[in-house]
């Protein structure tokens, strides 16, 4: 029995068929496999004929065929003169560049399978953004990193009740950092990429079907098949996701040149391994007037403390990622910007497709659910970074420059670097602990009143975590926490009654039969 193609295969077949109608051999149209039916094969990007021969007709040209030979440009009828196309289409060299861009895009679409984004292309873009200035970690640097993290672990034993990680520290190059953190970036950015792809498809569908193709060149309209709207919309959804994924990759690559560790932005992007990026740490230390060894040790303390926290409070990582996903699910694309950009994109400048994914792409108004998710993200990140700050201040109290380093990193986390700001604009979300100083004051108050174990015990359960009111008033934390615990206990009791069949509803006093029917 012959296997029937699934929906995805049929969809890809329609997209390939449509593109081949437009671009011919550029996308593998081998219907004319006989060499004699393809005279004067030109450049490899799908051209037939001889685009360079613009001064007169080819030897094989027939009357009326124009200066581009019998084959002309792929997808165009014989005798079509590309000089009649809009600016950018008449230049053979420019056409070849455009064909190359589209061919690469289509190849990425083919290779992404069922995924929203071609993540291999995204990773390649990230690695390319790093460039060649990325020396491997030397054995001496690797030893310095491991020694610093081992010493940091020893010092942290006196400053926190959380147990040591117990693993060897690792030094990463920038490209290695991309490799180790890439799965987490996929998890963070997939919801946004899906929204961008859908927006691109919607705009194209409106222009082709509802608007009658008002923004398309007349010559191109005549080439489109009757069902072009659905086919192009499907293709553009995938192309939009591919282009957006490439932008994400570039942003990640730029971040790789600024971060100091695997958890530098407050999330354990590299998992629970302790990692540092020596090249970035050295670059950051220039101009601080602090010894490199002291900077390395301070950053090792921060990395080791943060990893201890995420290991001993395993709910914390999922809580943060889920809050980010909740926020991203409510992101709305600025359709006016997409429509305006789509109508003004110059076909001779493929860079404009990527430039579309920049400032102004997202709607500024947030839904109530997004506002709640954003507050949750900012408060949780502030609590994480505030706890790390308090623990490291105690563990590294005898470092000569501890006060200066604390202040420097507090400002850095509160404002972020250029690459972090660019990434935030791209995905519509800033991972900023805006109330870091208030959170650090809360943890210091709890340490002074309850000791190290009492402070760390607060991380035991997510339901009784400090909230914004606790950042405003650290002294009232215990009374508010007791109230939250009492409310949680009531909910547990009501749930138990419901499961046991004794639940009479909130506030019900029951009757002589205990609230049960006679």
* Model pLDDT for residues 70-96, shown as the tens digit of each residue: 444 444 444 445 455 545 444 566 555
Q: What average pLDDT does this structure show over 116-133? A: 87
More confident residue, 115 or 295: 295
pLDDT computed for residue 518 by the predictor = 41
pLDDT category, 230, cuts 50, 70, 90?
Answer: low
pLDDT category, 35, cuts 50, 70, 90?
Answer: very low
pLDDT computed for residue 499 by the predictor = 81
Question: How many percent of the chain have pLDDT more than 70?
Answer: 60
pLDDT category, 236, cuts 50, 70, 90?
Answer: low
- Tell me the HSE value of 111 on the side-chain side, using a 13 A CA sphere: 12
Would you say residue 434 has pLDDT above 70? yes
Q: Which two tokens stand for residue 46?
A: 């799908």
Would you say residue 24 has pLDDT above 60? no
Nearest-angstrom CA–CA distance, 136 and 142: 10
pLDDT computed for residue 143 by the predictor = 95
Nearest-angstrom CA–CA distance, 160 and 137: 31
pLDDT computed for residue 416 by the predictor = 75
pLDDT computed for residue 380 by the predictor = 93
Helix axis angle for 315-329 and 174-205, nearest 10°, is: 30
pLDDT category, 503, cuts 50, 70, 90?
Answer: low
Helix axis angle for 92-111 and 7-23, nearest 10°, is: 170
pLDDT computed for residue 141 by the predictor = 96
Would you say residue 42 has pLDDT above 60? no
pLDDT computed for residue 215 by the predictor = 52
Q: What average pLDDT does this structure show over 393-403? A: 95
pLDDT computed for residue 489 by the predictor = 80
pLDDT computed for residue 44 by the predictor = 28
pLDDT category, 23, cuts 50, 70, 90?
Answer: very low
Residue 516 makes CB contacts below 8 A (sequence gap 6+) with: 502
pLDDT category, 21, cuts 50, 70, 90?
Answer: very low
Would you say residue 49 has pLDDT above 70? no
Other CB atoms within 10 A of residue 313 CB = 20
Nearest to 26 by CA among 47, 2, 4: 47
Question: How many percent of the chain have pLDDT more than 90?
Answer: 35
pLDDT computed for residue 38 by the predictor = 41
Lowest-confidence range among 80-84, 165-169, 238-242, 328-332?
80-84
Residue 289 makes CB contacts below 8 A (sequence gap 6+) with: none
Lowest-confidence range among 110-114, 163-167, 229-233?
110-114
- Tell me the HSE value of 235 on the side-chain side, using a 13 A CA sphere: 21
């Amino acid at each position: 029995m012959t296997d029937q193609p699934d929906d995805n295969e049929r969809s890809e077949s329609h997209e390939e068929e449509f593109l081949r109608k437009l671009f011919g051999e550029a996308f593998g149209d081998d219907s004319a496999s006989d060499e004699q039916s393809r005279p004067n094969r030109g450049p490899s990007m799908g051209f037939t004929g001889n685009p360079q021969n613009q001064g007169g007709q080819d030897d094989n040209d027939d009357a009326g065929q124009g200066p581009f030979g019998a084959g002309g440009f792929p997808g165009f009828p014989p005798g079509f003169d590309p000089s009649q196309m809009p600016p950018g289409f008449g230049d053979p060299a420019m056409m070849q560049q455009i064909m190359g861009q589209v061919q690469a895009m289509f190849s990425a679409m083919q290779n992404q399978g069922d995924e929203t984004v071609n993540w291999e292309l995204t990773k390649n873009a990230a690695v390319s953004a790093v460039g060649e200035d990325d020396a491997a970690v030397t054995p001496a640097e690797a030893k310095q990193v491991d020694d610093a993290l081992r010493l940091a672990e020893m010092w942290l034993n006196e400053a926190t009740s959380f147990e040591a990680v117990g693993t060897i520290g690792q030094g990463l190059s920038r490209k290695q950092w991309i490799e180790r953190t890439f799965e987490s970036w996929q998890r963070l950015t997939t919801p946004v990429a899906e929204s961008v792809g859908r927006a691109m498809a919607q705009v194209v569908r409106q222009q082709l079907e509802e608007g009658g193709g008002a923004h398309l060149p007349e010559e191109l309209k005549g080439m489109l098949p009757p069902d072009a709207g659905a086919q192009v919309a499907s293709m553009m959804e995938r192309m939009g996701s591919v282009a957006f994924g490439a932008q994400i990759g570039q942003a990640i690559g730029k971040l790789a040149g600024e971060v100091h560790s695997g958890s530098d932005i407050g999330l354990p992007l590299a998992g629970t391994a302790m990692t540092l990026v020596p090249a970035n740490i050295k670059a950051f230390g220039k101009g601080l007037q602090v010894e490199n060894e002291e900077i390395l040790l301070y950053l090792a303390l921060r990395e080791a403390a943060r990893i201890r926290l995420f290991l001993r409070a395993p709910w914390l990582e999922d809580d943060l990622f889920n809050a980010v996903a909740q926020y991203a699910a409510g992101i709305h694309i600025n359709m006016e910007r997409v429509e305006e950009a789509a109508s003004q994109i110059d076909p001779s400048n493929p860079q404009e497709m990527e430039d579309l994914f920049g400032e102004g792409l997202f709607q500024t108004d947030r839904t109530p659910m997004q506002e709640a998710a954003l507050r949750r993200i900012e408060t949780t990140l502030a609590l994480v970074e505030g706890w790390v700050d308090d623990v490291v201040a105690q563990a590294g109290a005898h470092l000569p420059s501890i006060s200066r380093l604390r202040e420097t990193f507090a400002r850095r986390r509160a404002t972020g670097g250029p690459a972090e700001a660019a990434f935030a604009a791209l995905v519509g979300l800033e991972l900023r602990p805006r109330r870091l100083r208030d959170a650090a004051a809360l943890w210091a108050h709890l340490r002074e009143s309850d000791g190290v174990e009492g402070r760390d015990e607060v991380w035991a359960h997510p339901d009784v975590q400090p909230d914004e009111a606790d950042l405003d008033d650290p002294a009232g934390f215990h009374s508010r926490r007791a109230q939250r615990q009492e409310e949680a206990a009531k909910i547990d009791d009501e749930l138990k009654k419901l499961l046991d069949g004794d639940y009479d509803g909130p506030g019900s006093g029951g009757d002589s039969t205990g609230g049960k029917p006679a």
